[in-house]
Structure 1
Amino acid sequence: MNEYLVTSESVTEGHPDKLCDQISDGILDRYLEQDPEARVAVEVMASKNTIMIAGQVSARVVLDVTEIARQVIRDIGYDDEIKGLDYQTCLVLTNINHQSADIARGVDQFTNREPALYVPSGSGCRWVRKEGEASGQIKDLGAGDQGIMYGYASNETANYLPITMDLASKLARRLGEIRKTGQVEWLYPDGKTQVTMKYDENERPLAITSIVISAQHRDGVELAAVKNAILREIIKPVIDDQWLTPSTSIHINPTGRFVIGGPMGDTGLTGRKIMVDTYGGVGKHGGGAFSGKDPTKVDRTGAYMARYVAKNIVAAGLADRCEVSLAYAIGLPEPEAVRINTFDTEHIDRAVIESRVRDSFSFSVINMIKTLKLKRPQFLKTAAYGHFGREDQGFAWEETNQMEALLNNG
């Protein structure tokens, strides 16, 4: 009587919202490659062969963001309007300004330098440093925004993600892989996946009750062929038979046709897939999106740090599940609040866990950036198939190198 269902979804890199996330983070990475201190807050909208790039950038370099966007679009696979977008012919509009002096003042008030001043050069999307601008060594950084960020981990899976999120992401990633390798040559870039799992009264996963996969395809491919290929090439390699029962429902392209996709079928926007980016609705989310934001933006950095702490707590065996929340005020370097919730699954006193976390981690903005190596370009990789649980990508927030400290401190 106490069994319940949990559902998580994911999308492919060609989904319109994910397209926008990747352009935003592709621009961020290119700035960080040439100026690790760049301040970037860039968002993108996509609609019917048109890309709109807007935001704020302050950096020591001049970049052609239009060309960066076209390269990202090409790499995703949008090379023909028939697929939903053409990287060569799409219209790219830009409206990028420099970072607000008031925000810069909050971030830089703990340094011995004045807020950076920038002037437009060439197009409206290019900014260069003024000659003779004051500079100095960074001693500390204030948070680039206010808000609350959450990190979550569970021992349901080897990568400490909720199992529904893990499976939905793997299905979407597999869908992208077989398209790009040409294994199923009629697949197009857009796609979505969804997994629903039944849990018992002890919060243990029992079985998958439904799988939903919507895969964009070339016109003329029969639904039966789509279903057979998705079952054979996507579901069977990803989903272990132990989770499937005779009553598991499998829905493949349930509308019967998915030819019109990408920005041709739906408008895309940066930051509109925050549950896909994180824990599939299982863990909380503070509401702040990640993509296109440099690491002074605690929406991103705080969420990565909270995941890092939660994952190490669970990996150390101190709890079966853990949620870490951090709250920041704009312009201040330290969090206003740090909270650890183990959902009554802890194996030692929760006060001891909290004490060990305080001794093992620093939550100041500058130390989070250093600990998680967030000044290096790596964010385009995060912008599709999830920011968490991907242990093969070299993300520092996915490391479990603080287990020993958590076990021995105190």
Structure 2
Amino acid sequence: MQYIFTSESVSEGHPDKVCDQVSDAVLDEVLSKDPTGRVACECFATTGMIVVGGEITTTTYIDLPEVVRGVIRDIGYDRGEYRFEADSCAVINVINRQSPDIAQGVNTGGAGDQGMMFGYATAETDEYMPAALYYSHKLVKRLADIRKTDKILMPYLRPDAKAQVSVVYGDNGEVVRVDTIVVSTQHDPMENAQARIREDVIENVVKAVIPEHLITAETKYHVNPTGKFEIGGPHGDTGLTGRKIIVDTYGGRAPHGGGAFSGKDPTKVDRSAAYAARHLAKNIVAAGVARECTIQLAYAIGVAEPVSININLHGTSKVNERELEQFIMTHPDMSLTPAGIIARLHLQRAIYRPTAAYGHFGRHEFPWEHLDLRDVFAKNFA
């Protein structure tokens, strides 16, 4: 029986994503000079100001206002009329040091917190990502690329934007077509805005991103459905770090343990273990072991080894999932301790700011997306 599944994404200019990018830029600045620095950086952005808080323990100095303003400028908030602008917004620093109670457990190699993390992969796209989320990311990324590199094609674009894609799945779980596309993009004041933006989005964005065979006469479009979207960014809505965790991961297609990623150094298993779980799930699917894979990991604060691992192949494989779990837990190249994950994926580097917009997964440049374990799984289970 056919069914529809929907996911959304937001652009780098969305207020929550502004905060995610600032948090990860602060993390990168620390790690670039002090790879073992401890960072938990949170941001709050609103009209004319951004508050940067959290806990940082490092041997280096960072010029926080310069880092923050650089991110805001790169995103495109560089005009006073936005009411949130790189050179004039207030940058308020309320950062403290990491609690020694937490540090004593992490310093010996233990997890930085308790919790459960999930990794997921599906064979429905070449990137092993759910189609609805993958195309939503591509829509808002295309809007940003046009805004930044082509001042003629859609010269009215402003930084804030959202997209949502509804995908129809067939009887065998295959992607059949796109049912509905929703795009809302901030824009300059202009006459006949909705009609012009609708035409431009369909011609210059949708057709450049969504494969032609997925668009049919039944596909529905909602472009700036409120009619006007001039006020946006942190002036339109307050932004917070960690408030787009479903956009960051699998678009609701897989469970989420609740922990956000941005602003956290890799000793925080909220981030590093989620990356490790994705790495394993993607390699399992890429190896042909299954068409779909969900992995749950769980940790206790101060304890290095995960307290549990659970693998679900969703009925797409004949492999015994308990045997697969045991194989991973005992394989020397698949350590799931924080130290093992950090070493295997080379996580103590300044690589995080790019993750903070357009998804942490399904992008080949990140080490947790590499297919370096595919042959191991294929040899033993495919």
TM range (shorter): over 0.9
Report the equivalent of 1:31.
30
Of 142, 145, 149, which residue of structure 2 is paired with 1:177?
145
Correspondence 1:57-76 to 2 at 5 A: 57-76=56-75
Of 201, 204, 219, which residue of structure 1 is paired with 2:189?
219
Answer yes or no: is the 8 Å Cα contact 2:311–2:322 preserved in 1: no
Report the equivalent of 1:363.
336
Partners in 2 of 1:48 and 1:144 — Cα distance?
A: 34
SS in 2 for 1:374: coil
Measured against aligned partners, the alpha-carbon deviations of 1:150-209 in whole angstroms (never above 9, x if no partner) come to 000000000100011110111111011000012422100000000001112322222111
Measured against aligned partners, the alpha-carbon deviations of 1:320-340 in whole angstroms (never above 9, x if no partner) come to 000011000111111000111
Correspondence 1:298-309 to 2 at 5 A: 298-309=269-280
Partners in 2 of 1:85 and 1:46 — Cα distance?
A: 9
Partners in 1 of 2:113 and 2:325 — Cα distance?
A: 25
Measured against aligned partners, the alpha-carbon deviations of 1:247-283 in whole angstroms (never above 9, x if no partner) come to 2110100000000000110010000000100000001
SS in 2 for 1:9: strand
Partners in 1 of 2:317 and 2:338 — Cα distance?
A: 28
Report the equivalent of 1:209.
179
Report the equivalent of 1:162.
130
* Segment drifting more, 47-56 vs 82-91: 82-91
Partners in 2 of 1:179 and 1:216 — Cα distance?
A: 11
Partners in 1 of 2:82 and 2:147 — Cα distance?
A: 13
Partners in 1 of 2:4 and 2:233 — Cα distance?
A: 30
Partners in 1 of 2:161 and 2:79 — Cα distance?
A: 17
TM-score normalised by L of structure 1: 0.90
Report the equivalent of 1:47.
46
Of 117, 122, 128, which residue of structure 2 is paired with 1:149?
117
Partners in 1 of 2:119 and 2:222 — Cα distance?
A: 31
Partners in 2 of 1:214 and 1:261 — Cα distance?
A: 11
Of 343, 367, 370, which residue of structure 1 is paired with 2:314?
343
Q: Is residue 8 from structure 1 mapped to residue 33 from structure 2 by the alignment? A: no
Report the equivalent of 2:286.
315
Post-superposition offset of 1:84: 4.5
Post-superposition offset of 1:409: 4.1
Report the equivalent of 1:18.
17
SS in 2 for 1:85: coil
Q: Is residue 257 from structure 1 mapped to residue 256 from structure 2 by the alignment? A: no
Report the equivalent of 2:103.
104
Measured against aligned partners, the alpha-carbon deviations of 1:4-59 in whole angstroms (never above 9, x if no partner) come to 21000000000000000000000000000000010000100111111011100000
Of 330, 334, 348, which residue of structure 1 is paired with 2:305?
334
| Matched-pair identity in % | 47
Measured against aligned partners, the alpha-carbon deviations of 1:124-164 in whole angstroms (never above 9, x if no partner) come to xxxxxxxxxxxxxxxxx111111000000000000100011
Between Structure 1 and Structure 2, how many residues are aligned?
Answer: 376
Report the equivalent of 1:375.
348
What is the Cα-based RMSD across aligned positions, in Å? 1.2
Correspondence 1:121-140 to 2 at 5 A: none
* Segment drifting more, 175-184 vs 336-345: 175-184
Post-superposition offset of 1:347: 4.1
Of 233, 243, 259, which residue of structure 2 is paired with 1:272?
243
Measured against aligned partners, the alpha-carbon deviations of 1:330-369 in whole angstroms (never above 9, x if no partner) come to 1111100011110011143334433432325110110100
Report the equivalent of 1:246.
217
Partners in 1 of 2:315 and 2:208 — Cα distance?
A: 35
Partners in 2 of 1:354 and 1:293 — Cα distance?
A: 27
Answer yes or no: is the 8 Å Cα contact 2:14–2:233 preserved in 1: yes
Partners in 1 of 2:278 and 2:253 — Cα distance?
A: 13
Partners in 1 of 2:371 and 2:82 — Cα distance?
A: 41
Partners in 1 of 2:240 and 2:326 — Cα distance?
A: 41
Of 359, 364, 367, which residue of structure 2 is paired with 1:386?
359
Partners in 2 of 1:339 and 1:400 — Cα distance?
A: 21
Partners in 2 of 1:310 and 1:84 — Cα distance?
A: 43
Answer yes or no: is the 8 Å Cα contact 2:57–2:98 preserved in 1: yes
Post-superposition offset of 1:212: 0.2
Report the equivalent of 2:267.
296
* Segment drifting more, 19-28 vs 344-353: 344-353
Report the equivalent of 1:236.
207
Post-superposition offset of 1:299: 0.2
* Segment drifting more, 218-227 vs 254-263: 218-227
Answer yes or no: is the 8 Å Cα contact 1:84–1:260 preserved in 2: no
Poorly superposed stretches of 4+, deviation over 3 Å: none
Report the equivalent of 1:407.
378
* Segment drifting more, 280-289 vs 76-85: 76-85
Post-superposition offset of 1:80: 1.3
Partners in 2 of 1:337 and 1:351 — Cα distance?
A: 12
Answer yes or no: is the 8 Å Cα contact 1:230–1:252 preserved in 2: yes
Partners in 1 of 2:312 and 2:24 — Cα distance?
A: 31
Answer yes or no: is the 8 Å Cα contact 1:14–1:189 preserved in 2: yes
